[in-house]
Chains A and B, each alone.
Chain A
């Protein structure tokens, strides 16, 4: 099983809503990542978890809150987002922190109204 599964695929939310994006992998990978990708741009790293602990926060606004409940799951909690936060949010995993190939999910496309 070499898949990273992300849900939901599409999400529309208002600026006052609270929602969550979910990511799951069953490859035994110990590092998981959240990237943000705007249209026609490369992915931008947001957060990295290694062995279920937050290793990197790329100065992301606090309205984005990551969570790693266990080694297979990664969540991104969203609250009070702005329209400019509309983007494709990609989850990825790798064998270890920046070691080995990054496996990406198909992404969750978020629209903030």
Chain B
């Protein structure tokens, strides 16, 4: 069964600094991987997804993630943090893209002015 582990339930970065949110997956088959963002009092919004095409995936709001099979990782990065990036971020995995999503426990990103 697939699963994802998000290291760090809470990450704080200064405005303008690099954002790095970690996600490691466990899957018996090549997975589909997703990053979702949840702003306060809102639903989830898809940031980006990996579906076995390019290993470097670019998403919305300047975020990107790199699929590394050797490290079983799909870390989310953004070169320069903005105050508006403060939110909860969830990594999720799906086997073959046609199975239900399994979410990680989430990482709360705080931006320090």
Interface residues of A, Cβ cutoff 8 Å to B: 4, 6, 40-43, 45, 48, 56, 90, 92, 97-99, 101-102, 104-107, 109
Is the beta-carbon distance between B103 and A42 smaller than 8 angstroms? Answer: yes
> Of B44, B45, B105, which contacts A41 at CB under 8 A?
B105
Contact size range, B: 10 to 19
By the criterion CB–CB under 8 Å, are A42 and B98 in contact?
no
Which A residues touch B45, using CB under 8 A? Answer: 104
- Please indicate which of the listed interface residues B43, B104, B106 has the most CB atoms of chain A within 10 Å of its own CB: B43
C-alpha spacing A45/B101, complex, angstroms: 9
Chain A minimum-CB-distance residue to B44: A104
B interface residues, Cβ below 8 angstroms from A? 41-46, 49, 90, 94, 97-101, 103-106, 108
Is the Cβ of A98 less than 8 Å from the Cβ of B44?
A: no
Known: A42-B90, A45-B100. A104 touches B43 (CB 8 A): yes
Roughly how many angstroms separate A41 CA and B9 CA in the complex, as a whole number? 10
Find out whether the CB atom of B103 lies under 8 angstroms from the CB atom of A43.
yes
Central interface residue in B90, B98, B103, B108, by most chain A CB within 10 Å = B103
- Please, which residues of chain B bring their CB within 8 A of the CB of A102? 44, 46, 101
| CB-CB nearest 8 A-B residue pairs | A104-B43, A42-B103, A104-B44, A106-B43, A101-B46, A98-B98, A105-B43, A106-B42
Give the complex CA separation of A101 and B108 in angstroms: 22
Between A and B, 19 residue pairs with Cβ closer than 8 Å are A4-B43, A40-B108, A41-B105, A42-B106, A43-B44, A43-B90, A45-B101, A90-B44, A92-B44, A97-B98, A98-B94, A98-B99, A99-B97, A101-B49, A104-B44, A104-B45, A106-B41, A107-B42, A107-B43
Closest partner residue, chain B, to A100 (CB atom): B97
Q: Which of B44, B90, B98, B105 has its CB near the most chain A CB atoms (within 10 A)?
A: B44
Tell me, in angstroms, the Cα distance from A104 to B100 when the chains sit together: 15
Q: Contacts of A98 on B, CB cut-off 8 Å?
A: 94, 97-101
